[in-house]
Amino acid sequence: MKLVGALLIILTTTVFGWEFATRLARRTKQIRYLKIAFEALETEMVFGMTPLPYACEKVANQLSSPLSQFFHEVSKKLKEEERTARDIWCNTLEKWKKTTDLEASEINILNQFGQTLGEQDLENQRKQIRLAISYFDQEEKQAMESQKKFESMYKSLGFLGGVLIVLIML
Amino acid sequence: MKEVFQVLPEKIRKIILKLPEKTINEIEEIRLRVNRPVEVRTHTATFVVPNSATPFIFIESDSALMLSLLSQHSVYRLEEELKRGYITISGGHRVGLAGRVVMEKGEVKGIRDISSFNIRVARQKYGVAKSYLTQLQQRGNWCHTLIIGPPKSGKTTLLRDIAREISKGVGSLKVEAKNVGIIDERSEIAGSVKGIPQHDFGVKVDILDSCPKAEGLMMMIRSMSPEVLVVDEIGRKEDGDAIMEAVHAGVTIFASVHGDCLEDVKARPTIASLIELGFFQRAIELNVHSKRGIVKKLDLKKRVSGVIRT
């Protein structure tokens, strides 16, 4: 009996450790997708001159979840609701951020970008997109570093933590 | 009017929709200025909505929303429009803009922080040209015509209706449908959105939207082989030269010009020389109050030799 219990404890803590580790990896991946999304947005807005609701829709179609959901939502609301793009972007962001592994710094960049969305002329709009992309670049680097640093640590910590608890309880 | 309501923020739309239907149908302008009451103008009266005691004040956030609605949340697409200072929306209505102007290399680059919107409602009037048509043709050919009138006398409306009649052809006068080229420098005749005319013109009409008149006349002749050219508000010297050129190319010209009467426009050198040299065969003088016009036949014998008449 004791053995089964001990195994269960170790298993649980190991799973926790793994979860934390993959969360790091997912964050890096999502930041990378954000960059791709903004590059696509730039193409649509600056070169394609596509109206914002349709630009967001196209970007959403190129991406996978959870990013696609955000752009879908923004596009849908832009078409249906009579509010400024800034309002819609920030509201949607507020709800959506819980479903991602992104951290406050990335959400802040997105929020900042939303403040002027669709309200500036071509050149300034382009600058805003470029600025956001360069911020994401930095975030991606940091995310990769912390992934390297902590990924294996979380994994072994999970397992070893379980062992520790078992030893104490024995 | 449907298109106009679509660009108005909901609060203002509701107020305006509460006006009696007759007034709504007569609206010519809706003026919106930041921190000022909203003003509505029909051709008989100007008033503040909903009433002058408790007017609705248009605030900055309304202005931002209005710009969002006007541009479909995409101000970056309005580069050209912001440079010219007005946006043409579907339906041919025009929204004039004023605010802080941004310069670049000594040229106007656009308007930022927009503080005033002036929505000018475009109305098509079918049939205004009908009573003139008989006198504007000669044995199945249209005559070169100059339309003279002060602002708001209906020059552009008449020009638009004439263009439509020509492109459809007038069966009762045995005039065939002709290819019409419109040079629409200020997007007023056709009210084009992305190059597509928002007014009904029949089939045989080609439009050069927001193109300078003098260049446009030549471009049309070279590229679209029009039989009739329609151009609004001529006046500069280049316009005159281009019109001479077009008449020599065998194209019929319909043009409009600002002025009270024929004598009045003769004071302007370009127009005077066009009339003196006999380039125009008919002149229509429009009266601002009655919106009725008088057709005058200009003396054809004055045509200088060397002008080939077909």
Across the beta sheet with B205-209, the strand order is B205-209, B180-184, B228-231, B252-258, B145-149, B282-286, B293-297
Bridge partners, residue B46, by sequence: B41
pLDDT tens, position by position, B103-135: 888 888 888 888 999 998 887 778 888 888 888
* Candidates B76, B102, B114, B193, partner chain A, best to mutate (most A CBs within 10 A): B76
Q: Is A13 helix (H, G, I), strand (E, B) or coil?
A: helix
The mean pLDDT value for B174-192 works out to 87
Residue ranges and CATH numbers for the domains of chain B are 2-120 (3.30.450), 130-302 (3.40.50.300)
Cβ-contact B16, B5 below 8 angstroms: yes
> Token digits for B241?
């030269």
The mean pLDDT value for B129-152 works out to 86
Q: How far apart are the first and last CA of chain A?
A: 12
Instruction: Using CA coordinates, name the residue in chain B closest to A87.
Output: B65
Over chain B, what is the mean pLDDT?
85
To which residue do tokens 């509505």 refer?
A: B40
Per-residue confidence (pLDDT) for residue B300, from 0 to 100: 56
Which portions of chain A are predicted below pLDDT 70?
Answer: none
10 Å CB burial of residue B90 (0-12, 13-18, 19+) is: middle
Residue B65 has pLDDT above 70, yes or no: yes
To which residue do tokens 């020389």 refer?
A: B273
Residue % of chain B over a pLDDT of 70:
96
Per-residue confidence (pLDDT) for residue B303, from 0 to 100: 45
**Please, which pLDDT band fits residue B299 given cuts at 50, 70 and 90?**
low
Among B92, B96, B99, B127, residue whose Cα is nearest residue B113: B99
Put simply, the answer to whether B73 touches A52 (Cβ < 8 Å) is yes
Cβ-contact A60, A161 below 8 angstroms: no
Q: How do the domains of chain A map onto residue ranges?
A: 2-169
pLDDT tens, position by position, A117-155: 888 888 888 999 999 999 999 999 988 898 888 888 888
Interchain CB contact of A85 with B (< 8 Å): yes
Put simply, the answer to whether B77 touches A49 (Cβ < 8 Å) is yes
Distance CA B217, CA B242 (A): 6
In chain A, positions 31-50, which contact chain B (CB-CB < 8 Å)? Answer: 45-46, 49-50
Per-residue confidence (pLDDT) for residue B84, from 0 to 100: 84
Distance CA A28, CA B163 (A): 62
